[in-house]
């Protein structure tokens, strides 16, 4: 039976709320979602996971606060929702591709999203990696159920500490992160998105790595419609390249950037800017105390070339502690090659010119070309205000050195013979029979075409979102404000001032360019309307009901000549009173009070949330204890050493039909097993249980126990928690 959503929970904080404004967080029931793209609070997934408020929305998905209806605890729910590719209509929980042409990319990303869940689930018992509790497809998209983390990100911790922390504190936080990454690397995997935002500090003092970026990166590499999402200042050069050489050294670079950000308060320059000679200032030069060996190790990990960094995280950790040298490995010795041919015999050449007089200044060397500009500052600043990362796909080819031309000496005749004065050529007689056919046209070289380059919209109020879009055809190179970009793409940003961008497209047929401008205007506050009309109160009691149950709308108005409530109610007979309504669906009731003056109207609304009808329980006792378990329908399975998550996945995916996954709980004076993957289960009084004992033989390499029902079957279980603790808890009630 599907658990009914509780009626006394605040969807904003998941604390108990009897009705009305939440006494814990101030949230009011019935408040609509901040965006039509979000699931409505109270939505239940897989008959178990209830959706609350939105915790975050990035370019790849949406994260919600959630509530596990079976285990009565907070969770986090991540929803696959790639920006610009997926879309949801208001009131519809289903997500679908924005257009038929994007369907293949959407489906490909959906599979990668579930792959990422499987990856993180492999580290379920690691103390420093966020735990995956479940994952499944639904509503045309996919969801990952994660443990709820009560704490703050490392970035927020740094901000609260005044913008930076000392070296010892930074190392205490990053050490468990590096330990977790070593396990990830041993499994042949990468995180690809280490930054202070993806490190969580729990109130208990535990440190957790969250938000693996492997799926997002592979998705961006797969399709031009899904740009690679990188964090400037933390992503190494190889992540900007289409086929960059990535490995543990990629996460090592990002970890070093995170350390640098923590101790200096500054984010290192983005990798493309560093390749254009932007400097990373050592912490010691900024007056920050740091051991010399640690600083040397930090800068080796920040090397732009992957081969110059540490190749394993353990090497980086030892160097930070001063237990190993941080010097880069020596360059390989040159291999012997063929001997050069003997030089040719010297030829007579020109005599050297006399030295210049002392008062003639030597010719200065040619000026050094200025460094190539990095990503435009306006773009980084505006994009940082969005609250999500700039989605950019930049390919930075490493130029090959071009050898300078070597002058070839030529013999000079000291007395060259004098040439006679040239005679003018004889005039050519006209052609008596000219060819009337025009000459063959020369082949036309293709010219680049800028299909679109614009800000959309091109006029916004300060703080509003706009998007820079571009698409170019037949170009060999595309730049925006001097920075090489892909032939097509888009960047979301919130500009604080007017912005002008210039796109240049190079091609064999020439160069074309175009400018795009977005105008930013100040928000114009609405003119205050003076009115003697006042709605003193307008409430709906209760604010959450089952469909068809009564709700009392109460109001009190001053100074109005007429008033009405929509929908259902209509014109009101008095300026104070109440009326009963029976909504069948969640409804916003709007009270409109009109004064004697023209346009003198005041409105207020009251929301009523309609939830699924709550069936009265057959027993008044609430669920007191519950445990996640899997149950094997036979006696045992081969004693393979695998983890609990793999056993659970076998039950969820149906790959092992002898397994089922569910919840074993004590409900009042009864012991109940509810399977989520089959019809197997039982619901018997505690007095009908003959015994509950530990099994001598492990099941799937895990501790197990069995429940013997009087005049019934013997059930074998493997719990997610300690088997001995579950047995003790049940026996304490027998």
* DSSP string over 257-290: HHHHHHHHS-PPPPHHHHHTT-----GGGGT---
Strands (DSSP E) found in 120-278 = 132-138, 141-147, 151-153, 199-202, 207-209
The answer to whether residue 647 scores a pLDDT higher than 70 is: no
| pLDDT tens digits for range 139-186 | 999 999 999 999 999 999 999 999 999 999 999 999 999 999 999 999
Report which of residues 396 and 189 the model is more confident about.
189
Lowest mean pLDDT among 96-105, 269-278, 422-431, 491-500: 422-431
Give me the DSSP letters along 373-424.
Answer: P-S-HHHHHHHHTTSS--B-------PPPPPPPPPPP----SSPPPPPPPPP
Where does the pLDDT of residue 358 fall: very low under 50, low under 70, confident under 90, or very high at 90 and above? very low
Of the two residues 581 and 643, the one the predictor is more confident about is 581
* pLDDT beyond 50 at 360: no
pLDDT in tens, 437-453: 545 555 667 888 998 89
- pLDDT tier for residue 533 given thresholds of 50, 70 and 90: confident
Side-chain-side CA neighbours of residue 18 (13 Å): 0
Q: Which residues pair with 694 in a beta bridge?
A: 705
Name the nearest CA neighbour of 77 among 6, 152, 143: 143
313 phi and psi angles, rounded to 5 deg:
-65, -35
- Containing H/E element for 63? strand 61-68
Across 480-484, 567-571, 609-613, least confident range: 609-613
Under the banding of pLDDT at 50, 70 and 90, the label for residue 329 is low
Among 1-5, 505-509, 600-604, whose mean pLDDT is lowest? 1-5
**Domain map (residue ranges) of the chain:** 43-147, 151-321, 449-521, 534-610, 641-732
Per-residue pLDDT, 312: 96
Mean pLDDT, range 71-78, rounded to an integer: 94
| pLDDT score, position 648 | 62
DSSP structure class, residue 102: G
Q: Half-sphere exposure of residue 442, counting CA atoms within 13 Å on the CB side?
A: 4
Asked if 63 contacts 57 with a C-beta cutoff of 8 angstroms, the reply is: yes
Closest CA to 129 of 193, 199, 209, 224: 209
Q: Between the ranges 373-377, 500-504, 616-620, where is the mean pLDDT highest?
A: 500-504
Whether pLDDT at 596 is above 50: yes
Q: Average per-residue pLDDT in the chain?
A: 77
* Tokens (6 digits) for 138: 């639904």
Please give the torsion angle defined by the CA atoms of residues 660, 704, 117 and 676, in that order, rounded to the nearest 10 degrees: 20
CATH architecture of 641-732: Roll (2.30)
Which tokens go with 714?
A: 């013997």
Q: Which residue has tokens 């609070």?
A: 41
How far is the C-alpha of 428 from the C-alpha of 405, rounded, in Å?
Answer: 42
Give CA–CA dist 610/42, Å, rounded. Answer: 10
Query: What is the C-alpha separation between 495 and 382, in angstroms, rounded?
Result: 5
Strands (E) across 106-198 are located at 132-138, 141-147, 151-153
Question: What pLDDT, on the 0 to 100 scale, is given for residue 441?
Answer: 52
Q: Rounded to whole angstroms, how far apart are CA atoms 466 and 449? A: 24
Calpha distance 85→105 (Å, rounded): 8
Domain spanning 449-521 has what CATH number?
2.60.40
Q: Which residues pair with 685 in a beta bridge?
A: 670
246-250, 682-686, 714-718, range with greatest mean pLDDT: 246-250
pLDDT band for 643, please (50, 70, 90 cuts).
low
Lowest mean pLDDT among 17-31, 358-372, 451-465, 553-567: 358-372
Element (H, E) at 630: strand 623-632
Q: What is the pLDDT of residue 628?
A: 85
Per-residue burial over 579-614, b = 16 or more CB atoms within 10 Å of its CB, e = otherwise: bebebeebbebebbbbbeeeebebebebbbbbbeee
pLDDT the model gives residue 202? 94
449-521 against 534-610: fold identical: yes
What's the CATH code, domain 151-321?
A: 1.10.510.10
Mean pLDDT of 343-357: 41
Q: What pTM does this model have?
A: 0.48
Task: Taking the CA atoms of 471, 472, 476 and 481 in sequence, report the sign of the dihedral they define.
Answer: negative
The whole-angstrom separation of Cα 576 and Cα 207 is: 56
Q: How far is CA 664 from CA 245, 361, 419, 628, 682, in A?
A: 48, 93, 110, 7, 9
Cα torsion angle, 259, 261, 265, 271, sign: positive
Tell me the C-alpha distance between 274 and 374, whole Å.
8
CB 606 within 8 A of CB 540: yes
**Please, which residues bridge with residue 74 across strands?**
67
Burial class of residue 356 in the structure, from the number of CB atoms within 10 Å of its CB (0-12 exposed, 13-18 middle, 19+ buried): exposed
Conformational region of residue 690, where left means phi above 0, alpha means psi within -120 to 50, and beta covers everything else? alpha
Phi, psi of 588 (to 5 degrees): -105, 115
Please report which confidence band the pLDDT of residue 226 belongs to, taking 50, 70 and 90 as the band edges: very low
* Rounded CA separation 197/154 (Å): 6
How is residue 326 annotated by DSSP? -
Could you give the count of Cα atoms lying within 13 Å of 415 in the half-sphere of its Cβ? Answer: 0
pLDDT at 381: 46
Which pLDDT score is estimated for 594? 86
Confidence of residue 655 (pLDDT cuts 50, 70, 90): low
Share of the chain above pLDDT 90, in %: 28
pLDDT band at 574 (very low <50, low <70, confident <90, very high): confident
Kindly report, residue by residue over 12-53, the tens digit of the pLDDT.
899 887 777 788 888 777 666 777 789 988 899 999 999 999
Q: Does domain 43-147 have CATH number 3.30.200.20?
A: yes
pLDDT value at position 395?
35
Q: In this predicted structure, what is the pLDDT of residue 296?
A: 96
Which has the minimum average pLDDT: 308-312, 547-551, 659-663, 685-689?
Answer: 659-663
Q: What is the largest CA-CA distance in the chain?
A: 129
- pLDDT at residue 388 greater than cutoff 70: no
Q: Which CATH class is domain 534-610?
A: mainly beta
**Computed over its alpha carbons, how large is the radius of gyration of the chain?**
36
Q: Please determine, for residue 6, whether its predicted confidence score (pLDDT) is greater than 70.
A: no
pLDDT at 627 over 80: yes
Q: How far is CA 457 from CA 461, 468, 496, 519, 630, in A?
A: 10, 9, 14, 9, 53
- Rounded CA separation 55/59 (Å): 14
Mean pLDDT of 58-87: 89
The structure tokens listed for 713 are: 């079957």
Chain Cα centroid distance, residue 498: 28
pLDDT classification of 578: cutoffs 50, 70, 90: confident
CA distances (Å), origin 512, targets 271, 290, 473, 480, 694: 28, 51, 11, 12, 77
Contact by Cβ (8 Å): 145, 132: yes
Where b means 16+ CB within 10 Å and e means fewer, 662-672 reads bbbbbbbebbb
Given a cut of 50, is residue 620 above it in pLDDT?
Answer: no
Residues above pLDDT 70, as percent of the chain: 72
* pLDDT(241) > 70: yes
pLDDT of residue 96: 87
């Amino acid at each position: 039976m599907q658990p009914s959503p509780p009626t006394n929970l605040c969807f904003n904080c998941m604390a108990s709320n009897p009705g009305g404004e939440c006494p814990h967080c101030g949230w009011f029931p019935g408040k609509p979602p901040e965006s039509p793209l979000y699931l409505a609070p109270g939505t239940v997934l897989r008959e178990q996971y209830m959706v609350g408020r939105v915790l975050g929305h990035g370019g790849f998905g949406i994260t919600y606060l959630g509530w596990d209806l079976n285990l009565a605890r907070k969770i986090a729910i991540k929803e696959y929702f790639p920006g610009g590719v997926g879309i949801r209509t208001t009131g519809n929980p289903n997500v679908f591709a924005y257009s038929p042409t994007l369907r293949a990319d959407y489906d490909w990303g959906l599979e990668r999203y579930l792959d990422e869940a499987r990856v993180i689930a492999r580290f379920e018992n690691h103390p420093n990696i966020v735990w995956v509790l479940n994952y499944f497809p639904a509503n045309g998209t996919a969801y990952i159920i994660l443990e709820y983390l009560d704490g703050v990100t490392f970035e927020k911790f740094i901000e609260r500490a005044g913008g930076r922390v000392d070296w010892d504190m930074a190392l205490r936080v990053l050490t468990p992160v590096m330990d977790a990454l070593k396990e990830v690397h041993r499994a042949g995997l990468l995180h690809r998105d280490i930054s202070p935002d993806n490190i969580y500090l729990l109130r208990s003092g535990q440190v957790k790595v969250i938000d693996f970026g492997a799926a997002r990166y592979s998705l961006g590499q797969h399709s031009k419609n899904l740009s690679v999402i990188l964090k400037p200042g933390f992503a190494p050069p190889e992540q900007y390249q289409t086929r960059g050489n990535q490995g543990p050294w990629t996460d090592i670079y990002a970890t070093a950037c995170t350390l640098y950000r923590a101790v200096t308060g500054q984010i290192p320059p983005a990798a493309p800017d560093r390749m254009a000679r932007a400097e990373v200032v050592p912490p010691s030069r900024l007056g920050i105390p740091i051991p010399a060996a640690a600083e040397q190790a930090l800068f080796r990990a920040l090397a732009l070339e992957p081969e110059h960094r540490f190749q394993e995280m353990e090497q980086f950790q030892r160097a930070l502690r001063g237990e190993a040298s941080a010097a880069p490995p020596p360059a390989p010795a040159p291999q012997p090659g063929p001997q050069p041919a003997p030089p040719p015999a010297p030829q007579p050449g020109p005599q050297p010119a006399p030295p210049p007089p002392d008062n003639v200044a030597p010719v200065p060397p040619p000026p050094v070309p200025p460094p190539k500009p990095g990503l435009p500052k306006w773009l980084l600043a505006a994009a940082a205000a969005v609250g999500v990362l700039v989605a950019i796909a930049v390919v930075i080819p490493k130029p090959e050195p071009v050898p300078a031309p070597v002058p070839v000496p030529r013999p000079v005749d000291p007395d060259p013979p004098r040439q006679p004065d040239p005679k003018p050529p004889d005039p050519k007689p006209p052609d008596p029979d000219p060819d009337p056919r025009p000459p063959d046209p020369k082949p036309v070289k293709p010219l680049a075409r800028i299909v679109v380059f614009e800000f959309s919209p091109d006029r916004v109020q300060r703080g509003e979102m706009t998007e820079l879009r571009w698409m170019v055809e037949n170009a060999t190179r595309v730049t925006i404000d001097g920075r090489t970009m892909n032939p097509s793409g888009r960047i979301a940003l919130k500009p604080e001032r007017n912005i002008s961008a210039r796109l240049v497209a190079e091609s064999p047929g020439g160069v074309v360019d175009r400018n795009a401008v977005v105008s930013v205007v100040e928000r114009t506050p609405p003119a205050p309307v003076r009115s003697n009309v006042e709605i003193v109160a307008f409430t709906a009691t209760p604010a959450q009901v089952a469909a068809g149950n009564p709700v009392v709308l109460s109001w009190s108005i001053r100074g109005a000549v007429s008033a009405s409530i929509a929908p259902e109610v209509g014109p009101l007979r008095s300026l104070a009173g109440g009326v009963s309504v029976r909504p069948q669906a969640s409804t916003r009731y709007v009270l409109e009070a009109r004064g004697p003056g023209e346009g003198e109207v005041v409105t207020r609304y009251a929301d009523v949330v309609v939830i699924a009808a709550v069936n009265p329980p057959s027993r008044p006792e609430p669920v007191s204890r519950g445990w996640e378990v899997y149950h094997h329908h036979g006696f045992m399975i081969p004693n393979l050493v695998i983890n609990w998550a793999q056993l659970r996945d076998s039950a969820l995916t149906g790959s092992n039909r002898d397994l089922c996954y569910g919840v074993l709980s004590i409900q009042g004076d009864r012991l109940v097993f509810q399977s989520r993957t089959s019809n197997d289960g039982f619901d018997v009084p505690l007095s009908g249980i003959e015994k509950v004992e530990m099994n001598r033989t492990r099941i799937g390499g895990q501790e197990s126990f069995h429940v013997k029902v009087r005049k019934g079957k013997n059930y074998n279980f493997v719990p997610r928690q300690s088997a001995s603790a579950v047995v003790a808890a049940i026996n304490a009630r027998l």
